[in-house]
Amino acid sequence: MRSINFRDKKVTIMGLGLNDGGVGAARFFAKAGARVLVTDLKNRRHLAPSIQKLSAYKNISYVLGKHRIQDFQHANLVIQGPGVPSDSPYLAIAHKHRVPIDTDIGIFFRLCPAPIIGVTGSKGKSTTASLIQCMLATAYPNVLLAGNIGRSVFDILPRLTKNIPVVLELSSWQLEGLAAHTQAPHIAVITNILYEHLNRYKSFADYARAKSFIARFQKKQDILIMPHGDRVVRNAMKGAPSRIIAYAVPKIPHHEGNARLFGAHNAANIAAAVSVARLFRIPTAKIKKALRTFPGNPGRMEPIRLASGVRYYNDTTATMPDATIAAIKTLAPARKHALLLIAGGTDKNLRFADLANVINREISVLILLPGTATKQLLRSLPPKPRPTIIKARTMRVAVAQAHARARKGDIVLLSPGAASFGLFQNEFDRGAQFNNAVKKL
């Protein structure tokens, strides 16, 4: 593994969070002998789970609930967390004082000895990345998966070798960090580009541009895998120097009977993953076995329980309307009677008209969690909507309301179509609260 000397360097990590990215970065630099300062606008109580994971390191200090100018003026390096906007005034202070700014992904790419497979997309990137790992594991048992999937890239770095590929799920924010160093994965996979994160980006064009960074700085010998016939993706990827492989989505999905892979959206995820597996010459029989045994990802159309004849599904990672539409279309044909939906949350400047139409057509009971997206969704529904609409202030109440109205053969689906800010720590906390409430029924 390549190395960079960080001993005794003053490293400011901007953004700790709860999803292991900040924890992984702090741990990496602490182990490297740096003097680490973690700063986050959230307070110690909110960040307690992450701070606890770092309790063994005496060379980590914290400034929480605020940022301080001096921590950006006098650092040797600033690590920008994925949730930190590039126009932050504190990053501007670092720039002014000529302090280098980097990201965990940017440093990882410089140190990683392994061939890198990067996966991005507005929807489906976690499932696709996990499927790729599952398929490649049939030939490379030690293949690892990290990135925007709850596992820090720094945690896997010591285990990587030049002969075994690594799979990374990459968010648009992480791709911005790569673009700053004109870096890109050897194999880039993009699933789609949909309206998402418009609370972070000034326009859809800006968001699509960020997604395009996965291939913009590839080399001629690199490979870009993208969906055939997707004009948005094609336009975003114009000018990519790499070889392009376009995958088609089969009309009859080959999910090998795995219920976690039902639905048209998963047919696309499978097609993308198979394209990568073919590059590594994974036999068809092993691909099919990987599909049969694929365990799925938590919070992504995850079956939680069958209670009193009612099936409960956790799709908490549906943080955009298009993802909820896909979930409804997957489950609607499978229900024997009614489909009850728990939705709503915080708006990300997205459009809810299409979701409102699908809800009005397919949902019998709509249970809404509080938030700005909920207000948007209600405004998008017709004056006399078909579903019964119930408002719930907590997840426990939402599940109780669904349980009271569901009958044998019905399906209860948590698929919010919105962000989790405010009511929950993050979407995984939202999903955990749903799971706990369902298991107590």
Mean pLDDT, the chain, rounded, equals: 94
111 and 92 co-located in one domain: no
| DSSP secondary structure string for all residues of 410-437 | -EEEE--SSB-TTTSSSHHHHHHHHHHH
In the predicted structure, residue 98 carries a pLDDT above the cut 60:
yes
Mean pLDDT, residues 27-49 taken together: 96
Higher-pLDDT residue of 336 and 153 is: 153
- Does residue 58 belong to any structural domain of this protein? yes
- Does residue 274 belong to any structural domain of this protein? yes
Query: Which one of 293, 322, 357 terminates a domain?
Result: 293
* Number of compact structural domains in the chain: 3
CB-based contact 80:101 (threshold 8 Å): yes
Mean pLDDT, residues 275-279 taken together: 97
54 and 114 co-located in one domain: no
60 and 115 co-located in one domain: no
Question: Mapping DSSP to helix (H, G, I), strand (E, B) and coil, where does residue 50 land?
Answer: helix
- Give the least confident one: 190-204, 243-257, 287-301: 243-257
Map tokens 């005496």 to a residue: 58
CA nearest 420: which of 325, 320, 346? 346
Q: Which residues face 414 on adjacent strands?
A: 314, 342
Beta strands 310-314 and 302-307, pairing class? antiparallel
17 and 123 co-located in one domain: no
Predicted pLDDT of residue 360:
96
In the predicted structure, residue 165 carries a pLDDT above the cut 90:
yes
Predicted pLDDT of residue 173:
92
Higher-pLDDT residue of 246 and 17 is: 246
Residue type, 331: L
The 10s digit of each residue's pLDDT in 198-239 is 888 899 999 999 999 999 999 999 999 999 999 999 999 999
* pLDDT band at 249; cut points 50, 70, 90: confident
Predicted pLDDT of residue 275:
97
Predicted pLDDT of residue 265:
82
- Does residue 5 belong to any structural domain of this protein? no
Binding-site members are 121-127
142 and 270 co-located in one domain: yes
Mean pLDDT, residues 97-102 taken together: 97
335 and 433 co-located in one domain: yes
* pLDDT band at 35; cut points 50, 70, 90: very high
Predicted pLDDT of residue 394:
97
CA nearest 84: which of 9, 13, 10? 13
CA nearest 308: which of 404, 431, 387? 404
- Does residue 1 belong to any structural domain of this protein? no
Domain that holds residue 424: 302-439
222 and 343 co-located in one domain: no
Query: Which one of 102, 123, 141 terminates a domain?
Result: 102
Query: What is the 8-class DSSP label of residue 150?
Result: T
CATH number of the domain at 383, please: 3.90.190.20
* pLDDT band at 155; cut points 50, 70, 90: very high
> What are the φ and ψ backbone dihedral angles of 214, each rounded to 5 degrees?
-65, -25
232 and 156 co-located in one domain: yes
- Does residue 4 belong to any structural domain of this protein? no
Sheet holding 243-247, edge to edge: 144-147, 166-169, 116-120, 187-190, 223-227, 243-247
In the predicted structure, residue 257 carries a pLDDT above the cut 70:
no
User: Count of CB atoms within 10 A of residue 43's CB?
Assistant: 11
Question: Mapping DSSP to helix (H, G, I), strand (E, B) and coil, where does residue 282 land?
Answer: coil
403 and 430 co-located in one domain: yes
In the predicted structure, residue 115 carries a pLDDT above the cut 80:
yes
The 10s digit of each residue's pLDDT in 194-203 is 988 888 889 9
CATH number of the domain at 50, please: 3.40.50.720
CB-based contact 168:106 (threshold 8 Å): no
Higher-pLDDT residue of 82 and 260 is: 82
250 and 310 co-located in one domain: no
Kindly report the pTM of this predicted structure: 0.91
CA nearest 368: which of 354, 358, 378? 378
User: Count of CB atoms within 10 A of residue 202's CB?
Assistant: 8
Predicted pLDDT of residue 1:
58
- Does residue 173 belong to any structural domain of this protein? yes
> What are the φ and ψ backbone dihedral angles of 154, each rounded to 5 degrees?
-70, -30
For residues 255 and 288, give the distance between their C-alpha atoms in angstroms, rounded to a whole number.
8
* pLDDT band at 253; cut points 50, 70, 90: low
The dihedral through the CA atoms of 63, 6, 79, 52 has a sign that is negative
Mean pLDDT, residues 281-305 taken together: 93
CATH number of the domain at 258, please: 3.40.1190.10
Predicted pLDDT of residue 72:
98
Predicted pLDDT of residue 197:
85
Sheet holding 60-64, edge to edge: 60-64, 35-40, 10-14, 77-80, 101-102
| DSSP secondary structure string for all residues of 168-232 | EE--HHHHHHHHTTT---SEEEE----S--TTTSSSHHHHHHHHHHHHHT--TTSEEEEETT-HH
- Does residue 2 belong to any structural domain of this protein? no
Binding-site members for ATP are 121-127
Residue type, 427: E
In the predicted structure, residue 252 carries a pLDDT above the cut 60:
no
For residues 40 and 61, give the distance between their C-alpha atoms in angstroms, rounded to a whole number.
12
In the predicted structure, residue 262 carries a pLDDT above the cut 90:
no
> What are the φ and ψ backbone dihedral angles of 196, each rounded to 5 degrees?
-160, 155
140 and 210 co-located in one domain: yes
- Does residue 382 belong to any structural domain of this protein? yes
Map tokens 């800010």 to a residue: 421
For residues 110 and 229, give the distance between their C-alpha atoms in angstroms, rounded to a whole number.
34
CB-based contact 98:78 (threshold 8 Å): no
The 10s digit of each residue's pLDDT in 311-356 is 999 999 999 999 999 999 999 876 668 999 999 999 999 999 999 9
Query: Which one of 271, 293, 315 terminates a domain?
Result: 293
In the predicted structure, residue 171 carries a pLDDT above the cut 90:
yes
317 and 408 co-located in one domain: yes
Predicted pLDDT of residue 408:
94
